[in-house]
């Protein structure tokens, strides 16, 4: 409800209804000694212009308020128009909870249905669910789904998959009754998965092969090779896309042969906010729909022949099947899914492709600039979309980032935090928000 102040008459009526005379009587349960007997010592109220000035002054004192950021690694800063937030704040939508009462929730259900349609188009799949918590939980659920479908207990993960996705998958499978063996496929010299090594790791027990698209290092994987490798032992291919804007210029993973496609929708929905919230994208072929996790919204007609939206195939879910459910996910990230639906609709196909080309052009310019520097190199030759690894020939990446920070630049992610032998490597991401001047500023700082 919108807030409306109560009149004196309404206050007297409510107090009489509950049998007290004064508002203070409502707090009789609070012991007298701990009650505050004076007004709060607050500054005088500010009018709105003065309040905005005050908040702006406070924000200027925040560390990093005006720093130029090249952070990525699974969370990316793209332009999100204020209209998205305004629509999210409407009370009709402002919840992440599942709309079980279809007759009361047609607007929310239709919004979820449209989100599922968008995800199917992005991923190139037949069906998509109402969202997962994030890309990492989606990848873990995909592994569990592949295990159910294939009835096998061996999983291959590309070493180019996001390390936190790998850790999440390990956590999910660690609680299973039947032990699941996870092996990592090494990375080749060009920064992509070594599919020859993968063939040597495949067995008749392999349920799934999981690969990033693009991978954690920003390199665009060849899903045709991945598909051929998975087919050697009849395993399912799972793709994980942490940057959905990449799909503006790349073929959808489903069109390249991926059986289960997962991803992170945050870049198309909300800015990065301390690592979250995100929204997991999950799509698959129609033949696997009864093994999918999470909610599914379908379109139907009512008794009058009018179109309507309902939760469908709910017997897969934990509130009905309990421990036999396909997943124990309950509340999904419906609000962020709505944000993604709104933002994608605002962009349109042409706007989406234009933003993607700007990301690609920025990465190409940055890569060429780094390759001209004496003290840095781009170690991987594979094509990239908007993210690349830059290797220091001198100090560790942590020292490079500290030096950049002194110049008000957040220069990316120190990959040494994930593995000691990556301590010289920076992961740098660019988006359509980075101008040529921003890239030149970073290159000059690296050169200095």
**Residue 272, in any domain of the structure:** yes
Complete DSSP assignment for 200-269: HH--TTEEEEEEESS-TTSB---HHHHHHHHHTTTPEEEEEES-GGGGGTSPPGGGGT-SEEEEE-GGGT
Same domain (yes/no): 361, 275:
no
**Residue 42, in any domain of the structure:** no
Same domain (yes/no): 271, 402:
no
Q: What is the pLDDT of residue 3?
A: 60
Out of 303, 325, 342, a domain closes at 342
**Residue 10, in any domain of the structure:** no
More confident residue, 44 or 260: 260
Out of 342, 367, 392, a domain closes at 342
Same domain (yes/no): 93, 76:
no
- How deeply is 106 buried, as exposed, middle or buried, from its count of CB atoms within 10 A (0-12, 13-18, 19+)? middle
Q: How many domains does the chain have?
A: 2
Same domain (yes/no): 264, 323:
yes
Please state, for a pLDDT cut of 70, what percent of the chain lies above it.
94
Q: What is the pLDDT of residue 2?
A: 56
pLDDT at 140 over 80: yes
Q: What's the pTM?
A: 0.85
Cβ(129)–Cβ(293) below 8 Å: yes
**Contacts with 143 (C-beta within 8 Å, 6 or more apart), sequence order:** 155, 169, 172, 173, 180, 207, 208, 210, 238
Cβ(254)–Cβ(125) below 8 Å: yes
Same domain (yes/no): 412, 430:
yes
pLDDT at 61 over 60: yes
pLDDT at 402 over 70: yes
Q: Max Cα separation, the chain?
A: 81
Same domain (yes/no): 215, 364:
no
Q: Range of 230's domain?
A: 82-342
First to last CA, the chain: 56
Out of 296, 315, 342, a domain closes at 342
Indicate the angle between helix axes 106-123 and 334-371, nearest 10 degrees: 30
**In this structure, how many other beta carbons lie within 10 angstroms of the beta carbon of residue 392?**
18
Q: What is the pLDDT of residue 133?
A: 93
Same domain (yes/no): 116, 134:
yes
With bands split at pLDDT 50, 70 and 90, how would you rate the model's confidence at 66?
A: confident
**Residue 315, in any domain of the structure:** yes
**Residue 312, in any domain of the structure:** yes
CA 381 to chain centre: 27
pLDDT at 448 over 60: yes
Averaged pLDDT score across all residues of the chain: 92
Same domain (yes/no): 263, 297:
yes
pLDDT at 376 over 50: yes
Same domain (yes/no): 87, 179:
yes
Q: What is the pLDDT of residue 323?
A: 66
Same domain (yes/no): 338, 377:
no
CATH code of the domain covering residue 305: 3.40.640.10
pLDDT at 352 over 50: yes
How confident is the model over 19-37, as pLDDT tens digits? 999 998 999 999 989 988 8
How confident is the model over 74-119, as pLDDT tens digits? 999 999 999 999 998 887 776 656 666 767 688 888 999 999 999 9
pLDDT at 221 over 80: yes
**Mean pLDDT value of segment 113-130:** 97
Cβ(129)–Cβ(295) below 8 Å: yes
**Residue 377, in any domain of the structure:** yes
How confident is the model over 246-290, as pLDDT tens digits? 999 999 999 999 999 999 999 999 999 887 799 999 999 999 999
Q: What is the pLDDT of residue 362?
A: 98
- Please compute, for residue 163, the number of CA atoms within 13 A of its CA located in the half-sphere on the CB side: 9
Q: What is the pLDDT of residue 1?
A: 42
Same domain (yes/no): 335, 354:
no
Letter string b/e over residues 18-47, b meaning 16 or more CB atoms within 10 A of that residue's CB: eeeeeeeeeeeeeeeeeeeeeeeeeeeeee
CATH code of the domain covering residue 392: 3.90.1150.10
Least confident of 35-44, 279-288, 411-420: 35-44
Same domain (yes/no): 358, 334:
no
**Residue 218, in any domain of the structure:** yes
Least confident of 93-97, 200-204, 215-219, 242-246: 93-97
Would you state the torsion angle of the CA atoms of residues 204, 210, 211, 217, taken in this order, to the nearest 10 degrees?
-120
Instruction: Identify the CA nearest to 433 among candidates 126, 52, 133, 68.
Output: 68
- Please compute, for residue 116, the number of CA atoms within 13 A of its CA located in the half-sphere on the CB side: 20
Instruction: Identify the CA nearest to 338 among candidates 97, 105, 115.
Output: 115
**Residue 23, in any domain of the structure:** no
Q: What is the pLDDT of residue 314?
A: 72
């Amino acid at each position: 409800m919108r807030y409306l102040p109560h009149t004196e008459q309404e206050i007297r009526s409510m107090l009489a209804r509950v049998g007290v005379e004064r508002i203070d009587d409502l707090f009789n349960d609070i012991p007298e000694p701990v009650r505050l007997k004076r007004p709060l010592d607050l500054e005088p109220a500010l009018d709105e212009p003065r309040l905005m000035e005050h908040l702006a002054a406070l924000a200027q004192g925040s560390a990093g308020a005006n720093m130029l950021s090249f952070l990525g690694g699974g969370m990316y800063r793209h332009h999100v128009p204020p209209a998205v937030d305004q629509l999210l704040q409407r009370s009709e939508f402002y919840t992440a909870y599942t709309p079980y009462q279809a007759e009361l929730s047609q607007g929310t259900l239709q919004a979820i249905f449209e989100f599922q349609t968008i995800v199917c188009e992005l991923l190139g799949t037949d069906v998509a669910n109402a969202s997962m918590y994030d890309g990492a939980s989606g990848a873990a659920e995909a592994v569990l789904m592949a295990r159910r479908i294939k009835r096998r207990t061996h999983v291959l993960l590309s070493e180019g998959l996001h390390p936190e996705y790998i850790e999440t998958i390990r956590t999910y499978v660690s609680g299973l009754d039947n032990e699941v063996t996870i092996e990592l496929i090494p990375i080749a010299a060009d920064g992509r998965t070594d599919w020859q090594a993968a063939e040597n790791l495949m067995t008749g027990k392999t349920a799934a092969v999981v690969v990033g698209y693009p991978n954690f290092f920003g390199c665009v994987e060849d899903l045709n090779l991945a598909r051929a490798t998975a087919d050697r032992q009849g395993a399912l291919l799972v793709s994980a896309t942490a940057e959905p804007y990449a799909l503006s210029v790349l073929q959808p993973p489903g069109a390249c042969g991926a059986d289960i496609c997962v991803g992170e929708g945050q870049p198309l929905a909300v800015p990065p906010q301390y690592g979250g919230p995100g929204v997991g994208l999950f799509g698959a072929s129609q033949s696997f729909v009864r093994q999918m996790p999470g909610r599914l919204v379908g379109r139907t007609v009512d008794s009058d022949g009018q179109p309507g939206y309902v939760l469908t195939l709910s017997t897969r879910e934990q509130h009905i099947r309990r421990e036999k459910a396909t997943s124990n996910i309950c509340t999904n990230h419906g609000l962020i899914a709505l944000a993604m639906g709104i933002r994608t609709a605002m962009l349109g196909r042409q706007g989406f492709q234009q933003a993607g080309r700007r990301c690609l052009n920025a990465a190409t310019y940055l890569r060429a600039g780094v390759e001209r520097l004496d003290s840095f190199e781009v170690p991987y030759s594979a094509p990239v979309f908007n993210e690349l690894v830059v290797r220091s020939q001198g100090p560790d990446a942590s020292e490079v980032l500290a030096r950049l920070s002194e110049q008000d630049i957040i220069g990316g992610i120190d990959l040494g935090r994930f593995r000691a032998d990556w301590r010289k490597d920076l992961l740098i991401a660019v988006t359509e928000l980075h101008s040529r001047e921003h890239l030149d500023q970073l290159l000059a700082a690296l050169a200095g």
